[in-house]
Amino acid sequence: MIKLTVNSKEITADAGKTILEIARENGIEIPTLCQDERTQMYGSCGLCTVEIGDSPRLFRACSTYAEDKMVVRTDTRRIRENRKVALELLLSDHTGDCRPPCSLACPAETNCQEYARLIAEGDYGRAWSLIREKVPFPASIGRVCPRPCEEACRRRLADEPVAIAALKAFAGDFPGEEKASAPPTGKKVAVIGGGPGGLSAAYYLRLKGHGVTVFDAQPEAGGMLRYGIPEYRLPKDILRREIDLIVQTGVEIKTGVKVGRDMTLDGLRGEFDAVIAAVGAWSSSGMRCPGEDLGGVIGGIDFLRGVAEGGGVSIGGKVAVVGGGNTAMDACRTALRLGAGEVYCVYRRTREEMPAEKDEIVQAEEEGVIFRFLAAPAEITGGADGKVEGVRLQIMRLGEPDASGRRAPVPVPGEEEVLRVDTVISAIGQKPELSGFEALEKTKWGTIITDERTFMTGLSGVFAVGDATGKGADIAVSAIGEGRKCAEAVDAFLTAGGFPVAESPYLVKSEKTPEDFSEVEKRPRVKIKNRPASERARDFRETGAGFSKEEAGREASRCLSCGCGDYYDCKLIKYANRYAVRPERFGGAVHRYKVPDDDHPEIVRNPEKCILCGLCVRVCEEVKGICALGFSGRGFDTTVKPALDARLRDTACDSCGECARACPTGAIMTRKPPESP
């Protein structure tokens, strides 16, 4: 037996063991990427370095045997810097995608790749449960989301992006197991606003065991999903069903109550342990032109809300909608369904610059909406009765790009057009109405200022999310993502009295081109079947049918599974984030390898992720006695592969998968899809 000191702790251990072995036996972690207790020491990764006594050099714990009276330090500043450099060197020639681009593009961080896999396998309930870990409204959001995930989808480089949103909507119709709430904490949270952001915050706080009450000014909860999205895009019985699931977890919702009228912010602060303001942006932006105070001029959100509430909205036979976003498209198509004979969409740029979803533009055009591009309202004209008679349009041309990156519209002198209309709907933007929140500091846009990391306002214990904060109105899935993250911050505030440092994790990402997918089999995207335009423009029934099970499975199987299947178990990325790496400082040549698709029926190799730890080679040889893999080449060009460039299937490999289980980076895996923890 020997006695040594590790991090000021005296340890008695058997002689003949390495420092790494003794540290592990005593619960002291020393990071390593190349060590497996079943194999002989190797020391290739360089992470397990430690300091010994007064020696000026560092020692590798995996290959240094402990001695009596040895003094070992495993976590000093010098050691951390050395490990950081070692990791950065390994990462400088490690390529791939830790997370799939679709998930990185999703404001709510949904695991698109995984739920696509589950749908492809017919496991709809688990897909539903997985989505709800990030989004409580899969059926609703799947129908209305503008799909930033699909813009990032790698499949588009081969043919067309996967219909990720439609798959989410499909999964929403197959509820799985609801996650149980944690035991009650005794803490109470008030959420002001029952829209997607507020309800998401409420749901995730309830799952953490807190008591949650939602206060909403509208007759029903749902926010813009309820009152700003038309029935033909999002049937409200679907939304109600998903809100009911939130209520069933124990969230209390009180409707028809408004801060500044029925209660005060100070009163809520006194009654609850934390308050979240998620009041949305319900006030339509003005057009800033003469005549917009005439009768028959209405804001886009006011118009859509009036229709959703079932009130009698009189618009006449001719309608002009000003704007080019999704609200404008919703207003145009809703006006047609209310019986307008002519509906004009007036937009100051061209069709290519319209921010609305392309599908919405196409469907609006099919239904009969008339587009007036490169035109802006100069004046709204009215009659003696004070009501709209027409709108005078200034013809525009495109100039230089503005702050948004789009070419700015510039008036063409002397060129105008007059539209004779009965109603003008302004759908050029929206802003929050914040009476009752005077105590909160505002931005120059009139929105609530919050800490970007914690969502806390200038008042302790008061948080804010969604369209009423920052730069204003955004898409619903952004509010949902903020609501969930805010719930985590509020939970930390209530249970720990502070906030964790939530830095964005380091992720390995790669750039791809169509050439990278030239061998991918072309498979057309499964299209949603919409009802004929002449039929759907006459009613508010949903415009199209979602996927059948067969269609959903076919579409989900188009996913290329771009994200690393070993991400949740990857030791390399875990240590990379622990030591705050910056591998770009060691940028240089990067290897590119191509492994045949038929290399092996059960094992997938990706040498571009390999860090040459040698574990797969050593496990195969020392544990299995097979030697299917070995090192080839020298120096920087060394790689791991079967001898003589053979396919792995043509070696003595018995498909045991031990190499994949030993690999710390996902460079070699079994043919199983990535799963979240």
Q: In this model, does residue 677 exceed pLDDT 80? A: no
Q: What is the mean pLDDT of residues 335-344?
A: 96
Separation CA 206–CA 250 (nearest Å): 7
Separation CA 514–CA 248 (nearest Å): 47
Domain residue ranges of the chain, discontinuous segments joined by +: 2-75, 101-177+526-556, 188-282+432-495, 284-428, 592-670
Q: In this model, does residue 326 exceed pLDDT 80? A: yes
So what's the pLDDT on residue 674? Answer: 47
- In CATH terms, is domain 284-428 a member of 3.50.50.60? yes
- According to CATH, the superfamily of the domain at 188-282+432-495 is FAD/NAD(P)-binding domain (3.50.50.60)
Q: What is the pLDDT of residues 518-577, one digit of tens each?
A: 889 999 999 999 999 999 999 999 999 899 999 999 999 999 999 998 999 999 999 999
So what's the pLDDT on residue 428? Answer: 95
- In CATH terms, is domain 101-177+526-556 a member of 1.10.1060.10? yes
Specify the 3-state DSSP secondary structure of 380. strand
Nearest to 423 by CA among 311, 499, 272, 319: 319
Give one DSSP letter per residue of 133-162, joined into a string. TT-S-HHHHHHH---HHHHH-GGGGTSS--
Task: Confirm if 498 and 492 have CB atoms less than 8 A apart.
Answer: yes
Separation CA 141–CA 164 (nearest Å): 11
Q: Which residue type sits at 657?
A: G
Q: Which two tokens stand for residue 25?
A: 């036996």
Residue entry with tokens 């802006």: 376
Q: What is the mean pLDDT of residues 506-516?
A: 91
Give one DSSP letter per residue of 217-252, joined into a string. SSSSS-THHHHTS-TTTS-HHHHHHHHHHHHHTT-E
So what's the pLDDT on residue 476? Answer: 96
φ and ψ at 485, to 5 degrees? Answer: -65, -35
Mean residue pLDDT of the chain comes to 94
Task: Confirm if 92 and 69 have CB atoms less than 8 A apart.
Answer: no
Q: What is the pLDDT of residues 456-485, one digit of tens each?
A: 999 999 999 999 999 889 999 999 999 999
So what's the pLDDT on residue 501? Answer: 57
> In terms of pLDDT, which residue wins out, 448 or 497?
448
Q: What is the mean pLDDT of residues 355-360?
A: 94
Residues ≥6 apart with Cβ < 8 Å to 587 = 92
CA torsion, points 106, 112, 113, 114, in degrees to nearest 10? 130
Q: What is the mean pLDDT of residues 109-138?
A: 97
Label residue 676 by pLDDT band (50, 70, 90).
low
Q: Give the fold, CATH level 3, of 2-75.
A: Ubiquitin-like (UB roll) (3.10.20)
Judge whether 101-177+526-556 and 592-670 match in fold.
no
Residue 27 CB: number of other CB atoms within 10 A?
7
Architecture (CATH level 2) of domain 592-670: 2-Layer Sandwich (3.30)
Separation CA 151–CA 68 (nearest Å): 61
List, in sequence order, every residue forming a beta bridge with 393; answer none if it has no partner. 377, 417
Q: What is the mean pLDDT of residues 409-438?
A: 96
DSSP secondary structure letter of residue 285 = P
**Number of H helices and number of E strands within the chain?**
21, 26
So what's the pLDDT on residue 631? Answer: 95
- Give percent of the chain above pLDDT 90: 89
pTM: 0.91
Q: In this model, does residue 591 exceed pLDDT 90? A: no
What phi-psi label fits residue 138: left (phi over 0), alpha (psi between -120 and 50 degrees) or beta? alpha
